[in-house]
Amino acid sequence: MDDFKGRLTRDGIRIHDADDFIGMHRAGQVAAGILDAMAPLVFPGQTTEAIDAEIERMVNAAGVTSATIGYRGYQHASCISVNHVVCHGIPGPKTLKDGDILNIDVTVIVDGWYGDTSRMYVAGTLGRKAERLVQVTHDALFKGIEAVRPGNRFGDIGFAIQSYVEAARMSVVRDFCGHGLGQVFHAPPNVLHYGRPGTGPVLEEGMFFTIEPMVNLGRPETKVLADDWTAVTRDKSLSAQFEHSIGVTATGCEIFTLSPAGKFHPTWG
């Protein structure tokens, strides 16, 4: 036994109840609301540490807790991953340049529930290739989400994402994956963004997890820099990512981290 309610499947995935969906919805909406406020802060000359400072301020103002500050020694309220940074970019004093694309990833804890979400932004003018990458990555996340329903398998999610991305002649990062979450940050299963239909654990109503595909314009390989966090594309090609936290319902899924303001695309402000 552990301290959390709800049964575990044979794959070790927790099954949650209706009250838990309410908790996750609240947490997801706080995280997504913070992302909604970020677009005006992203401009050429801005530093990623200034963006992170505003995120930390908003987390505190909401009376909630950052899940990332203190997590495995991480010291910031967000990860901000610019251009060829795939994920886990550390906010810092470097200034954004015109045309830079960046992922901002925020995770908060609200009444014990984790809301984890990320989106892409652009400083200044979005270039043609970057625009295509961002759009394909966003749409790939939703191809994965559309495969979420009881009876489907996690491999169906990965396959939906991978086949969409590769048809666009881009690549899916293999070295990082989505994850179960709920009253913990990272729980089983690993949610792979590639795979084969009909493989992996069966999806059941009440499962909570993230889908957070990272897509590269070039090759899929990554490496982690000497700071032990920053993951970059080995070939220095541009990378993009979107992330939602979702819960499996009887007929599909609830997306906990939908934008309260209906935003998603960097050029929508």
Residue ranges that bind Co ion, judged by CB under 5 A: 105, 116, 210, 243
Contact 16, 206 (CB under 8 A): yes
Q: Per CB under 6 A, does 68 bind ligand MF3? A: yes
User: Judged by CB, which is closer to Co ion: 48, or 210?
Assistant: 210
User: DSSP class of residue 67?
Assistant: S
C-alpha distance from residue 204 to each of 4, 6, 7, 162, 212 (Å): 18, 13, 12, 22, 19
> How many whole angstroms from its chain centre is CA 242?
5
Binding partner at 71 among Co ion, ligand MF3, none, C-beta below 5 to 8 Å by kind: ligand MF3
| Least distance CB 133 / Co ion (angstroms) | 19
Nearest to 54 by CA among 71, 32, 76, 75: 76
Of 56, 194, 243, 246, the one binding ligand MF3 (CB under 6 A) is 243
From 3-11, 42-50, 71-79, 249-257, give the range in contact with ligand MF3 by CB under 6 A. 71-79
Query: Which amino acid would we find at residue 40?
Result: P
Strand, coil or helix: 25:
helix
User: Judged by CB, which is closer to Co ion: 87, or 126?
Assistant: 87
Q: Per CB under 6 A, does 225 bind ligand MF3? A: no
The residues binding ligand MF3 (CB under 6 A) are 68, 71-72, 74, 79, 88, 105, 107, 116, 210, 212, 229, 243
